[in-house]
Amino acid sequence: MTDNPRDTSQQTAVGSSRTGGTATAGLVRAISATLDRPGGPDAAAVAELVEHLSVPELADVLDLLDTASAVALIETLGPKFDVDVLSELDEGVRDQLSEALPNELLAVAVAELDTNDAAYLLQNLEESERKEIIERLPKEDRAALERNFEYDEETAGRLMQSEYVAVAPFWTVGQVIDHFRVADDLPETFSEILVVDPTYRVLGAVGLSMLVRTQRDVEVHAIMNKDLHTVVATQDQEEVAREFERYDLMSAPVVDENERLVGVVTVDDVVDVINEEAEEDMKALAGVGDESLTDKVASTVSSRLPWLVVNLGTAILASLVIEAFDASIEQMVALAVLMPIVASMGGNAGTQTMTVTVRALATNKLGRVNAPRVIMREAIVGIVNGAILSIIMAIVTYLWFGSQMLGLIIAVAMVFNLFCAALAGILIPLVMEWLDRDPAPASGVLVTTITDVVGFFAFLGLAALWMG
């Protein structure tokens, strides 16, 4: 069996395509105009426009086209269209195209793609459509793809390629090399050969550099690396990514519950996982869910609205705290001027701590063992930052309003609020994690609520006591 990772060595021909640069924007307009010509698209002109593009660059063009134009471009290019482009598309664009393209074309693409890329292309289709496409595949490709779909999304089994290179331990180096010269199912590029026993349990691996430097009569088991890191097919893809990072892996064999080889995970796919997980965390912190630029208005609204409603509720709560001190605010307008500063500084400090904490939890760098030490550190940081900022703000307040007591009040309130913000920023994500809930979505709202309420209450409460 073979392993065929995508070739990512192609050089960029049009700059800044991922950001919709001028060159790409002009190209997209030219392609759209050519596709929309009266009488139908000019296939030769379309092919000439895109012939200089690499796979990632053509993917960028498809990302910028509307769905109808993207389908028209793919169908116009016909056999000249490199199906590897489909694995480079934005997830939302890829899902829309997989629904819009004819099943016959999808079946051709799936047969040429690596099994994990093929699975990604088909995973969001209706079950009936997916089965129809898979049934069009050759028997071996169909079996490999069905094996991928046996595993849940975001697991090593779904991430893996079912194609790999494996030999028996008693083969000699000469036999392996001779086999490579005559075999017609080898990948275009590979760097490692897996060594397996008759039951397909992994015994080790041999790098190509070691293979070509060894005498032909040496058996493979004598030069294989037995200290091989494997991953389990049911393992979460985030855990797999962390293991690749920790052990500096380029690839890793995937085994089932019986420790039999079922596929290989390669570093190019792990890089995609790392990017996806980081993007998910960033979106969750902003309360936007798993959305993309291609989502429709209804789905975007349903993704964002719930957390905006929660935010509205917390804002009302903060307003109720302000209302409780309306008499004090009426007596001294300076309170209304200064209180947003206390809350804002607390919110920013809490967000800083929360961001670091959520990312540390996502990368498994923060847990029960080191949590007490990190909590103490963040509390001290909050007090120190609060003390420094309070001194600055006390001076500003005195120069602004000529009141030493008001400067002292805002200084004390700021130290207290930044201390509470630091604790909230780390404790809320930790508690959410320990409750087995995603800490990213809820942490931002809760931290903001605490810093607003504590900031207003501390500042206005101290001011009310001062004014008697």
- The pLDDT score that the predictor gives to residue 287 is 67
Residue type, 411: A
Query: Residue 16: is its pLDDT beyond 50?
Result: no
**Of all residues in the chain, what percent carry a pLDDT higher than 70?**
92
Topology, domain 17-152: MgtE N-terminal fold (1.25.60)
Query: Residue 203: is its pLDDT beyond 70?
Result: yes
Integer angstrom CA distances of residue 150 from 98, 99, 262? 20, 22, 12
Confidence band (pLDDT; 50, 70, 90) for 7? very low
- Residues 25-77: tens digit of each pLDDT: 888 899 999 998 887 888 899 999 999 999 999 999 999 999 999 999 999 99
Answer whether 252's CB lies under 8 Å from 243's CB: yes
pTM to 2 decimal places = 0.69
Question: CATH top-level class for 166-286?
Answer: alpha beta
Confidence band (pLDDT; 50, 70, 90) for 311? confident
**Six token digits for residue 191:** 């760097």
CA nearest to 211, candidates 220, 201, 202 = 220
- The pLDDT score that the predictor gives to residue 14 is 41
**297-466: CATH superfamily:** SLC41 divalent cation transporters, integral membrane domain (1.10.357.20)
> What span, in angstroms and rounded, lies between the C-alpha atoms of 20 and 155?
32
Residue 155: beta bridge partners? 236
Mean pLDDT of 340-369: 89
CA nearest to 214, candidates 204, 224, 205 = 224
User: Which string of DSSP letters, residue by residue, matches 373-408?
Assistant: HHHHHHHHHHHHHHHHHHHHHHHHHHHHH--HHHHH
> What span, in angstroms and rounded, lies between the C-alpha atoms of 255 and 392?
60
> What span, in angstroms and rounded, lies between the C-alpha atoms of 165 and 254?
13
Query: Residue 6: is its pLDDT beyond 50?
Result: no
Query: Residue 421: is its pLDDT beyond 70?
Result: yes
> Which element (helix H / strand E) includes 2?
none
Query: Residue 189: is its pLDDT beyond 80?
Result: no
Mean pLDDT of 437-465: 88
Domain ranges across the chain: 17-152, 166-286, 297-466
Mean pLDDT of 200-217: 95
- Residues 140-182: tens digit of each pLDDT: 888 889 889 999 999 999 999 888 889 999 999 999 999 988 8
